[in-house]
Amino acid sequence: MPATPVPTPDDPVTAVLAASDGHFQQGQAALKLGHLDEARAEFNQAVDVLLKWPGGVNADIRLRRRFDDLVDRISTEELTALAEGDGFTEKKYEPASIDQLLALSTFGKATPPPDWQKLEQTVSSDLQQPGHDLSIPLNDQVLSYVELFSGKLHDWFQASLDRGSPYLPMIRRVFRADGLPQDLAYVPIVESAFKSDALSRASAKGVWQFMRTTAVENGLKHDWYVDERSDPRKATLAAAKYLQTLEQTFDGNWPLALASYNGGPGRVQGAIRRAHGVTDFWALAAKPRLLPRETREYVPMILAAIIVARNPTKYGFTVPHVQPVICDTVKLPQPVDLRRVAEWTGTSVEQIQALNPELRRWTTPVRAKDYELKVPQGTGDLVRARLQDAEGSDVDLASLRWYTVRRGESLLGIARRLRVRRSDLAEANYLSIRARLRAGQKLIVPREPGVILSARAGDDSSAQVVAASREEERRVRITYRVRRGDTLYRIARQFDTSVERLKRWNHLRGTRLSIGARLTVYTLESLADAGQE
């Protein structure tokens, strides 16, 4: 009978490695949500689990290898997180549907499909029913887009209806109050598919696809921090104002007004003059030289979208369930990084951005007194409590740092020194690009992507990782001699800097150190005596 194998006791080093890896994975998950404080705590735990091993990480080759690998991976993770949301980087936008639709344009093309007659009867019957407040002709151009939306683009159109359902009641209320046709509420289907972050190739933006100049003329704010074209409610108010202007310009002729919304009133008025006073859009569109193709396509495209959206079930669509956006609003007494808000509310940065689409970056406006930030319903009091805790303290709630202008410095020189664009530096400080600076003037500079989350020693053995926002010119240069038991992580903690900076200052690729080696360290004057030779 074979002997029973003796169970091998669990390897304690394996358990430590597993615990460290668990904390690292938790840190990665927190970073994806934008929860920097939580990520810092988890990354610190991942390192400290290894450092607390009797004899340190050098006591076991597996611990040493894991430690070296871990420090590199944490630096990489933190660098990526900050580079994606450093305050400078503008959020990403999606292509506007108007550009995509024009690639599938049908104006004057193709042979009608076999079921064309049935579609024509359906649309004809639909237009005879009460409800439409725009006069829509039954012609091949409009029918071709009805066929396209209900056929090849069925799923896209359904998604647009679903996405627009929370906004349509608001749009109808605004248009009703301003005496505009309710049918116009469906214009954003073609413009943006109701995506607040839609950006066209021509740089039109938002649900209503405003160009910047037109947006500002109609009351929307645009600066380095905010672009109200992306706020559905504010942009709808501007769209109503602009549509009223176009209606008056063309004496209530909505096909011409819609053509102007796309191509500009000057271009349409020019086409009318060249056509010797002809004011029928379809007659103008029949002559390609009078109006650009996009504008000729745009009007039937809008009218077809109105037909389908008014009675979606007739064309094979489901009526979307209206889910209004419900949230709390918090007044911010100072600029705040959206990652902090996400962590306070237990949500992601993407969710906070979705509630505040007008914000171009991860930092709320610097000079907007009592800026109103939308947060998930039920979390407003949590955010207010955190803001109150930070009041009167030196806690920096935004990813920004200050630069003091020296005598003779210019925006261009400072921008080059800080490796930022002069236009960004000017806009972030509400200055013109040629503004003259005075000595002692304070400039706000978004935190550079290369500044890594640095380690600062706490009262216990755990490291508290914080954002290193001090300017390097405030530090002094020292030479530090490596001692037995030193690691880059511990040295960074001692001198209030980061592993990545130590590696950059000393042109290091890895994390291994030799006893007696000399390192260049830029540190605060108060810490300079701690390790200087």
pLDDT of residue 456: 28
pLDDT of residue 345: 92
205, pLDDT greater than 70: yes
CA-to-CA distance for 142 and 467, rounded, in angstroms? 57
CA-to-CA distance for 264 and 281, rounded, in angstroms? 14
**Can you say how many angstroms the Cα of residue 138 is from the centroid of all Cα atoms in its chain?**
42
Model confidence pLDDT, tens digit, residues 210-262: 999 999 999 999 998 999 999 999 999 999 999 999 999 999 999 999 999 99
Higher pLDDT residue, 469 or 218? 218
Model confidence pLDDT, tens digit, residues 56-105: 777 788 887 887 777 767 766 655 554 444 555 678 889 898 888 877 76
447, pLDDT greater than 60: no
Rg of the chain (C-alpha set): 30
User: Which has the closest alpha carbon to 74: 33, 34, 23?
Assistant: 23
pLDDT of residue 252: 95
Q: Any idea what the Cα angle at residue 52 is, between residues 50 and 54, rounded to 5°?
A: 105
CATH number of 126-315: 1.10.530.10
Model confidence pLDDT, tens digit, residues 486-517: 888 788 877 777 787 788 788 787 777 888 88
Q: Once rounded to an integer, what is the mean pLDDT over residues 147-165?
A: 94
CA-to-CA distance for 94 and 357, rounded, in angstroms? 13
Q: Once rounded to an integer, what is the mean pLDDT over residues 446-468?
A: 33
Q: Once rounded to an integer, what is the mean pLDDT over residues 307-334?
A: 90
pLDDT of residue 474: 45
Q: Number of helices and strands (H, E) in the chain?
A: 22, 10
Higher pLDDT residue, 465 or 143? 143
pLDDT band per the 50, 70, 90 thresholds, residue 6: very low
Q: Cα(first)–Cα(last) distance of the chain, in Å? A: 69
pLDDT band per the 50, 70, 90 thresholds, residue 533: low
Q: Once rounded to an integer, what is the mean pLDDT over residues 343-358?
A: 92
Average model confidence (pLDDT) for the chain?
Answer: 83
User: Which has the closest alpha carbon to 468: 504, 491, 493?
Assistant: 493
Question: Domain 400-446's class?
Answer: alpha beta
State the residue for tokens 């829509």.
136
What are the residue ranges spanned by the domains of the chain? 126-315, 327-390, 400-446, 453-530
Q: What are phi and psi of 213, to 5 degrees?
A: -60, -45
What's the DSSP call for residue 131?
T
Let me know: does 436 contact 472? Beta carbons within 8 Å. no
414, pLDDT greater than 60: yes
Let me know: does 220 contact 420? Beta carbons within 8 Å. no
Let me know: does 452 contact 501? Beta carbons within 8 Å. yes
Let me know: does 286 contact 108? Beta carbons within 8 Å. no
9, pLDDT greater than 60: no
Strands (E), 12-168: 94-95
Helix, strand or coil, per DSSP, at residue 226: strand
Q: Is residue 191 annotated as a catalytic residue, yes or no?
A: yes
Q: Any idea what the Cα angle at residue 251 is, between residues 247 and 253, rounded to 5°?
A: 70
CATH number of 453-530: 3.10.350
pLDDT of residue 173: 96
Q: Are strands 518-523 and 476-481 parallel, antiparallel or unpaired?
A: antiparallel
Compute CA distances 281 → 125, 255, 298, whole Å: 24, 6, 11
Let me know: does 338 contact 353? Beta carbons within 8 Å. yes
pLDDT of residue 394: 65
Task: Tell me if the pTM is above 0.85.
Answer: no
Q: What percent of the chain has pLDDT over 70?
A: 84
The count of residues in the chain is 533
Higher pLDDT residue, 313 or 367? 313
Structure tokens at 367: 């000079």
Catalytic residue, candidates 42, 77, 78, 191: 191
pLDDT band per the 50, 70, 90 thresholds, residue 524: low
**400-446 and 453-530: identical CATH topology:** yes
In which region does residue 55 sit, left (phi positive, over 0), alpha (psi from -120 to 50) or beta (all else)? Answer: left
Let me know: does 307 contact 146? Beta carbons within 8 Å. yes
